[in-house]
Structure 1
Amino acid sequence: MLARQRQAVILEEVRRTGAVRVSDLVTRLGVSDMTVRRDLDALARRGQVEKVYGGATSATGRSTDEPGFEAKSVRQLPEKEAIAAMAAELVRPGTAIGLSAGTTTWTLARYLDDVADLTVVTNSIRVADVLQQRGRTDRTVVLTGGVRTPSDALVGPVAVQALRSLHLDLVFLGVHGMAPNAGFTTPNLNESETDRALVDAASNLVVLADHTKWATIGISTIAQLDEAHVLVSDEGLDQGAREILAEHVDELVLAPVPARRTQPEVGA
């Protein structure tokens, strides 16, 4: 198969599913890891895909772009793991917490195994599934209900009404972007209203956002920067962003991200 033919196959798969992994493409196309990466480089240079760790996703950029859950789940994996591990340390036994929908909060859910007697409210089927599968009998999981979005959030009046009756010790909010004037944003108007209700239910708000979310702006604001009691990001956050955020949030926490190991590439 010629390079242009391979790239057409890759692009079609990205458009169909939202994301591709290098390992899957190696098997499907019958070529080397290095050949696949060269094809992804070529597609990225033409603006047709966005390269991420281990693969590629659909190219984004507009304020209403909303990648699906699978597409977002392969982006910034080491950063999300580091942020989730750091955020889990904020959760105390016997508390009631909220987890918004999103791949970073979904990652956090897997780090809560050691927290006893926990009540978790979420508008994410994915998050609820993770918590239920962990098998703890001293845990209560509350799923809000609502209309499902492309990012697997449950939103709308049903979700909002459920959240307005609750009082939570701590809410962990995943966001699409953050910027000085826009605050914490999402590309989905309905998701914004539901997340706002989740924020309003919290005594303390913890925002989880890796460094790539800085200067990204979705169409709708969930909360202003100064509404966050804690912002957990990673050490990839640039110095200018750190200084601005430190002026607005009560506490800025930067999680160290382990260095990525590079593997020797096999010739095509």
Structure 2
Amino acid sequence: MTIEAGAGAARPSGDKQPTKAARLAYISAAVRREGFVNVEDLADSLNVSRMTVHRDLDELQSLGTLRKVRGGASAQRSTRFESDLQYRLASAVEEKRRMAAVAAELANGGDVVLVDDSTSALAVVPRLGQRGPMTVITNFLPAMQALVGHPEISLIALGGLYEERYAAFLGVLCENNLADLYADVLFASTSALRDTVLYHQDQRVVTAKQAMIRAAGRRVLLLDHSKIGQGALHRLGDIADFTHVVVDDLVPKEVIRRLADTGVEVLIG
């Protein structure tokens, strides 16, 4: 079996040996599209040895694009690995769109709004300008890029060390900035919920999100069904740290009841 080429990754043809850059681009596109790639299939598709594929996977793993697993590599999250940004942007798109429509109703014209580095919160961003003039604070580069020059939005960009794999500014500077700010509403997400406890794979992301929680009045968590019942290395906090939770309609009713029992308002998108 061979892997079909997708957007952004032309499949090498004939007996021509692809360059390293071409191989890395091809593998990255394949794992983002399929979620899992097999070493044997990659070797066949790229016309290279399995050892070459393993070296390429090692490099992509070091960049945070994928994680190596037995027989291949995966783009899906694990306890210690958060999925690549491009993979997350392409995941649960319709669920995020519906949740964003519900969540955006919790922001009002004149509000100061915090947006974290999640793709779920990013889905809310295009709707903010429709709610009236407001100030948006974020550490997430895609959110900044979406809002720059918007006539209804005053944009505050949080500082910090730029982390390419998250497209976000993190670290002490980001957290210190947040300590000096207050927002009316926060839109945030994370990668895992087990019972009523929230987790994330990266401690730097956790401390930035915790600083955002402390800085906001209304705190809105967006969680699609893929996060439910999952775990990750670092504890972020508890559902009760938020005032509202927005879930998609695939989240089981018993989970919704458990969340509501904590006192948080649960909304379904």
Q: Which residue of 2 aligns with 1:20?
A: 33
1:14, 1:146 → 2: CA distance?
A: 32
Q: Percent identity?
A: 18
What is the CA-CA distance between 1:153 and the residue it aligns to? 2.1
Q: Which residue of 1 aligns with 2:125?
A: 109
What is the CA-CA distance between 1:184 and the residue it aligns to? 1.8
Cα–Cα, structure 1 residues 15 and 245, in superposed 2: closer, same or farther, change >3 Å? farther
4+ runs deviating over 2 angstroms: 3-7, 9-18, 46-50
Could you tell me which runs of 5 or more consecutive residues in structure 1 were left unpaired when the two chains were aligned.
23-28, 30-45, 51-57, 256-268
Q: Which residue of 1 aligns with 2:104?
A: 88
- 1:45-99 superposed Cα distances (whole Å, 9 cap, x missing partner): x98577xxxxxxx1332x1102221110011111000011111111100011101
Q: Which residue of 2 aligns with 1:32?
A: none
Query: Counterparts in 2 of 1:116-265, with a 5 A limit?
Result: 116-132=132-148, 135-136=150-151, 138-149=152-163, 150-180=165-195, 183-255=197-269
Cα RMSD between the aligned structures? 2.6
Q: Are the counterparts in 2 of residues 106 and 130 from structure 1 also a CA contact under 8 Å? A: no
Q: Are the counterparts in 2 of residues 14 and 20 from structure 1 also a CA contact under 8 Å? A: no
Q: Which residue of 1 aligns with 2:62?
A: none
Could you tell me which runs of 5 or more consecutive residues in structure 2 were left unpaired when the two chains were aligned.
6-10, 13-22, 36-44, 46-69
- 1:16-37 superposed Cα distances (whole Å, 9 cap, x missing partner): 2551279xxxxxx9xxxxxxxx
Higher relative contact order, chain-length normalized (CA < 8 Å, sep 6+): 1
What is the CA-CA distance between 1:173 and the residue it aligns to? 1.0
1:60, 1:166 → 2: CA distance?
A: 32
- 1:95-141 superposed Cα distances (whole Å, 9 cap, x missing partner): 111010111111110111212220111110111111125x31x4211
Q: Bigger shift: 73-82 or 142-151? A: 142-151
Cα–Cα, structure 1 residues 14 and 172, in superposed 2: closer, same or farther, change >3 Å? farther
Number of matched residues? 219
TM-score (norm 1): 0.74
